[in-house]
């Protein structure tokens, strides 16, 4: 049964290889054989949950430059966590090996090796399969334990970004192995590189340019055994001549390698495979009667952080921009690109000096970027170093985008027209805002003379009312004024000021009785009153009213009621004899004039009226054109 399944599996592999073979040109047989062995070699246990595609730097994009081949690469979604060592993984690795054979650029974290054996130098472009998963690796080390008698074995170490070290141990290069956590090193916090000496000592290079060595439980500072560690990227140890000779190696930022033995320092860059700015680590190990020198192109992933805070912005106002910000760190000091999309609008920024944890920011202009009003949250911000390393974070603040309220409209200061009948008029307006459901929360009113002099400023009034009554003492009758208003919406955004609205406080009409003289004795009991009417606004007389009293206005003996007429005379009915005082008021369509008064003496002969007086003494009632009492004042 097992043989049958294996047979079917290999048939499946063969079919896949045949289907994929046109996608790339195979290398000569010797090279292809090596690559196939690489591809089919069982991988070590996956580290820290990373996917197979990430191991080869496929998390976001392949570093293969040929787009024709790149589009056929299997992505990380193709190889899931449960297929390691399976036929699917083998097919994936075989296909990847074939594609990489024709590529001019490594596909992500990769270790190359130069072997010197019996005077022959062999260069291998990719021996990454020997090591634990290289995703998130920041250093490597290799070791060959060759004791006086078998078993001999190889150890391959990886230092990860989270400051842990895993290793695999193999009896030969084709041996299956699983990653094992190593606790042999000095403390790994703030570590940059690791090294091993082939026996029992383990070294750590720190970011502060120190090196500690651990042997058993003893930890010793051995910084002075190395060449200068200023600008060091990686260290390595060659203890092949122990205890008489130990060599200490340093890889520098300028991609040179120097070796120190006792006090002698020399450049040994040529011992290693080609070194570049992407080379992050070196190591070496015995190789039978020869030496193996390793160089690792590693990529530490950038890490991004966000400032989480709610934002309220308004289109068309000073606070019209949305800003996401935070910090980013890349231990490799790669230039990174931070990007995010809001309402389909992509923003990105390149950040340098990333090993100093610089700040970054992305900004959207709600007006020019045409960001609609609404609420936005859970925005994903991504960072990429362009080498397959990436990170992301979610902005969980709430971004509220609203419109600035529009200019208030429909300004009025009088019930009708442009003239108000009060020196404390109620100013009214209409609030408007493009955002549905948004309402006024405050207003500010300013009143001026027609020459622009400020008379009254309300200050901000927290109110939803769209009206404001001007306090007493600011306005005078017969004068014109201007006023404007602005409002705040529910987000506290301020509208533009309205246009200036002009109004006039109505001057009272003036009435002057022209008939008779005060105290004049009349020969009849039916006097006729006449008067003059003037109005500063040229408003015509619309109505008048006449009162009469014989007792100093303790009671009212005569009342005409409101008479709608432009006539400036009134014929009284027969009245009882005695001294009468008459008052006349006129109406200009808005307000009644102050009364004009005349006292005359009528002859006896008409009985006194028996009806009660109409109104309480000492009060003047103001009536509108319909005869309704509008207001009242004390009669002088």
Q: Give residues with Cβ within 8 angstroms of 610, minimum separation 6.
A: none
pLDDT confidence of residue 635: 47
Contact criterion met (CB below 8 Å) for 619 and 633: yes
Residue 560: which of 542, 572, 574, 543 has the closest Cα?
572
CATH superfamily label, 510-634: Immunoglobulins (2.60.40.10)
Contact criterion met (CB below 8 Å) for 592 and 585: yes
Residue 612 has pLDDT above 80, yes or no: no
pTM for this predicted structure = 0.55
253-312 confidence digits (pLDDT tens): 999 999 999 999 999 999 999 999 999 999 999 887 789 999 999 998 999 999 999 998
pLDDT confidence of residue 199: 72
188-199 confidence digits (pLDDT tens): 999 999 999 877
550-595 confidence digits (pLDDT tens): 999 999 999 999 999 999 999 999 999 999 999 999 999 889 999 9
- DSSP conformation letters of 277-335: TTEEEEEEEEETTEEEEEEEE--PPPEEEE----EEEEETSTT-EEEEEEEEE-TT---
Lowest mean pLDDT among 98-102, 154-158, 274-278, 508-512: 98-102
The stretch 461-485 carries a mean pLDDT of 96
Q: How confident is the model at residue 242 (pLDDT cuts 50, 70, 90)?
A: low
Topology of 409-505 in CATH? Immunoglobulin-like (2.60.40)
Q: How far apart, in Å, are the Cα atoms of 240 and each of 121, 184, 287? A: 19, 20, 11
Residues of the chain with pLDDT > 90, as a percent, come to 62
CA distance 122 to 292: 9
H helices, E strands: number in the chain:
5, 44
The stretch 165-180 carries a mean pLDDT of 84
Alpha helices, DSSP H only, in 172-225? none
pLDDT confidence of residue 119: 87
Q: How confident is the model at residue 475 (pLDDT cuts 50, 70, 90)?
A: very high
Q: Which residue has the higher pLDDT, 37 or 101?
A: 101
Mean pLDDT of the chain, nearest integer: 81
Lowest mean pLDDT among 10-19, 175-184, 375-384, 429-438: 10-19
The stretch 381-406 carries a mean pLDDT of 93
Helix (H, G, I), strand (E, B) or coil at 94: helix
DSSP character at residue 2: H
Count CB atoms within 10 A of the CB of residue 518: 10
108-123 confidence digits (pLDDT tens): 699 999 999 988 999 9
Tell me yes or no: is domain 304-402 CATH 2.60.40.10.
Answer: yes
| Token pair for 561 | 């009621």
Lowest mean pLDDT among 76-85, 164-173, 464-473: 76-85
Under the phi-then-psi rule, with left for phi > 0, alpha for psi from -120 to 50, and beta for the rest, what region is 283? beta
| Token pair for 475 | 């306005």
Q: How far apart, in Å, are the Cα atoms of 374 and each of 316, 364, 437, 613? A: 15, 14, 12, 68
Rounded to the nearest 5 degrees, what angle is found at the Cα of 75, between the Cα atoms of 74 and 77? 120
Residue 363 has pLDDT above 90, yes or no: yes
CA distance 408 to 415: 18
pLDDT confidence of residue 609: 56
Residue 392 has pLDDT above 90, yes or no: yes
For residue 91, with 0-12 CB atoms within 10 Å meaning exposed, 13-18 middle and 19 or more buried, which class applies? buried
pLDDT confidence of residue 26: 31
pLDDT confidence of residue 524: 93
């Amino acid at each position: 049964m097992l043989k049958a399944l294996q047979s079917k599996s290999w048939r499946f592999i063969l079919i896949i290889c045949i289907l994929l073979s046109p996608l790339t040109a195979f290398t000569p047989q010797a090279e292809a054989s090596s690559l196939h062995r690489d591809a089919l070699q069982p991988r070590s246990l996956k580290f820290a949950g990373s996917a197979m595609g990430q191991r080869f730097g496929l998390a976001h994009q392949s570093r293969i430059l040929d787009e024709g081949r790149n589009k056929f690469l299997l992505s990380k979604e193709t190889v899931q966590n449960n297929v390691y060592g399976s036929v699917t993984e083998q097919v994936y690795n075989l296909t990847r090996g074939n594609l990489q054979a024709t590529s001019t650029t490594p596909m992500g974290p990769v270790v190359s090796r130069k072997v010197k054996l019996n005077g022959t130098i062999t260069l291998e472009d990719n021996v990454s399969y020997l090591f634990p998963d290289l995703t998130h690796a920041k250093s490597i080390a290799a070791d060959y334990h060759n004791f006086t008698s078998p078993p001999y074995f190889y150890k391959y170490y990886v230092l990860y970004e989270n400051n842990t070290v895993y290793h695999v141990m193999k009896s030969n290069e084709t041996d299956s192995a699983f990653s094992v956590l190593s606790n042999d090193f000095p403390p790994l916090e703030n570590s940059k590189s690791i090294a091993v000496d082939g026996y029992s000592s383990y070294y750590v290079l720190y970011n502060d340019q120190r090196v500690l060595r651990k042997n058993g439980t003893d930890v010793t500072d051995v910084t002075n055994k190395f060449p200068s560690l200023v600008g060091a990227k990686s260290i390595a140890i060659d203890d092949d001549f122990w205890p008489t000779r130990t060599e200490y190696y340093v890889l520098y930022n300028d991609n040179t390698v120097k070796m120190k033995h006792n006090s002698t320092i020399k450049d040994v860059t040529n011992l290693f495979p080609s070194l570049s700015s992407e080379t992050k680590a070196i190591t070496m190990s015995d190789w039978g009667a020869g030496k193996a020198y390793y160089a690792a192109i590693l990529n530490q992933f950038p890490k991004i952080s966000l400032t989480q805070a709610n934002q309220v912005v308004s289109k068309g106002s000073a606070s019209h921009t949305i800003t996401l910000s935070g910090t980013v760190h890349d231990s490799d000091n790669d230039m990174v690109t931070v990007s995010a999309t809001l309402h389909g609008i992509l923003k990105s920024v390149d950040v340098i000096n990333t090993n100093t944890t610089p700040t970054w920011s992305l900004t959207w202009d709600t007006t020019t970027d045409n960001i609609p009003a609404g609420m936005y949250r859970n925005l994903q911000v991504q960072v990429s170093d362009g080498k397959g390393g990436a990170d992301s974070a979610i902005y969980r603040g709430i971004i509220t985008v609203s419109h600035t309220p529009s200019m208030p409209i429909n300004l009025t200061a009088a019930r009708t027209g442009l003239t108000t009948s009060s020196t404390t008029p109620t100013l009214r307006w209409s609030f408007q805002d493009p955002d549905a459901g948004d309402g006024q929360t405050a207003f500010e009113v300013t009143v001026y003379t027609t020459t622009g002099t400020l008379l009254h400023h309300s200050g901000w009034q927290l109110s939803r009312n769209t009206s404001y009554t001007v306090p007493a003492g600011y306005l005078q009758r017969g004068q014109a004024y201007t006023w404007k208003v602005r409002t705040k919406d529910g987000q506290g955004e301020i509208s533009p000021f309205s246009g200036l609205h002009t109004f006039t406080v109505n001057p009272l009409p003036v009435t002057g009785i022209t008939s008779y003289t005060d105290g004049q004795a009349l020969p009849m009991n039916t006097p006729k009153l006449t008067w003059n009417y003037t109005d500063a606004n040229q408003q015509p007389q619309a109505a008048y009213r006449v009162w009469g009293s014989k007792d100093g206005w303790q009671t009212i003996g005569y009342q005409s009621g409101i008479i709608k007429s432009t006539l400036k005379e009134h014929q009284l009915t027969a009245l009882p004899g005695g001294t009468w005082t008459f008052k006349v008021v006129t109406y200009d369509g808005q307000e009644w004039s102050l009364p004009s008064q005349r006292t005359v003496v009528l002859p006896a002969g008409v009985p006194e009226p028996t009806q009660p007086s109409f109104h309480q003494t000492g009060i003047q009632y103001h009536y509108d054109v319909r005869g309704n009492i509008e207001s009242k004042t004390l009669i002088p």
